[in-house]
Amino acid sequence: MALTATFVKNVRHTGAPAGDKYSDGGGMYLLVNAGGKYWRFDYRFDGKRKTLALGVYPAVSLEKARKRRDAARELLADGIDPGTAKKEAAAEKAALNENTFKAIALEWHAMKSKGCAENTSAKRLTQLENHIFPAIGSRPVADVKPPEVLAMIQKVAASGTAYTAGRLREICGQVFRFAIQTGRATYDPAAAMRGAIEKHTVNHRPALTTRREFGEFVRDLRDTTRADPLTKLCARFGLLTWTRPKELRQAKWDQFDIEAAEWRIPAIQMKTGKHLQAHTVALSAQALEILPKLRELSGHTDRLFPSGGSSGGVISENTINNLFRRMGYIDKQSHHGLRASARSLLSERGWSTEALERQLDHKEANQAVAAYARSQHLDERRRFMSDWGALVAALESGDNVVAFPSKAA
């Protein structure tokens, strides 16, 4: 006699050790024991008696269990073992879950993060999580089509961030190529997206590059009352060392060797990726004069420029730019632009391009050269950083005559 939905709902375990079986016909029955209610299907295949689990009640209703039984009987009629077919389907589903774009992207990200700057790795992950995963993360990587990638990057580009859209296409391409290399995909749909969005126009940060204009700026910075002492010292120290803003903000006291007049920034904190060694910033006399003043303000912490609002934090990335805006230099000078100012003014004084580029930590295009470039030009870099400190001091004092340095070692 076939079961009814009411009976299945109300039946209880009688206490029988092996459980209670209630047949629905066609090999299907309800097994009731102390643990719950289970749908089972008994069948024979190749002369052997077998049992197939059809699900657990109430997640699987009587109606759904019957559909699964009927599907199993159809497989048997075609000479297919439904138990084997179920295992193969489960394995295929597991493989698809393992080979989703998100799963492979996270695997790729973990690989790329080794030896990569922490901020770069975190930025990649944020872009994946905010833009790429919501669009194609759950899709099997081998099934993603070019229009899916295009829709994602066009949405980002339409919001006014063409640069980010371009970076997302590059990240997708790297993930697809990793999938191809590991045998989980056969082509890269992101490659077809080249030229699909408007090319990002690079807007250089504003920077003063003439001695007269820069001299006015350093004197305004000296005289400004629009900043607290720590912010003002941070701006001046950045001006004298011309590191990137984040490298400056993250500076720690244990990175400084006062006797050697050096600031050694750990390789992993630098932008251009996997360095062979720490990046050395030679400290001029003018830069060294700032450190005792900073000690009075922040020597109780491990950071030169701690945040007043959070334990262990550092000043905001907008702190110096906001100061320059208040000084009236909103479209003339930026924090990052201090690097361009120094680079331009020192180039005019005859220092070599190669040494200046090494001090700026600009990436060497030739990888063979890059392997050796980190330690090159250090003597010259010490000399021109000293020259830069003297030049800034002269401009700050309003001296119109600044002696050119000797290039002799």
Which candidate, 352, 385, 204, 353, places its Cα nearest to that of 279? 385
The answer to whether the CB of 285 falls within 8 A of the CB of 392 is: no
**DSSP three-state, residue 38:** strand
How many C-beta neighbours within 10 Å does residue 54 have? 24
**DSSP three-state, residue 284:** coil
Residue 9 in tokens: 């709902």
**DSSP three-state, residue 100:** strand
Catalytic residue among 9, 44, 67, 372: 372
The strand pairing partners of 44, in sequence order, are: 49
339 catalytic? Reply is: yes
244 catalytic? Reply is: yes
Considering Cα of 347, then 350, then 353, then 356, what sign does the dihedral take?
A: negative
Radius of gyration of the chain (CA): 34
131 catalytic? Reply is: no
CA distances from 23 to 81, 184, 304 (A): 22, 45, 77
Catalytic residue among 37, 68, 244, 279: 244
187 catalytic? Reply is: no
Catalytic residue among 236, 339, 343, 377: 339
Distance separating alpha carbons of residues 140 and 201, to the nearest angstrom:
34
372 catalytic? Reply is: yes
38 catalytic? Reply is: no
Count of alpha carbons within 13 angstroms of residue 15, beta-carbon side: 0
Catalytic residue among 274, 295, 326, 363: 274
Catalytic residue among 131, 167, 249, 336: 336
The strand pairing partners of 53, in sequence order, are: 40
As annotated, the active-site residues are 244, 274, 336, 339, 362, 372
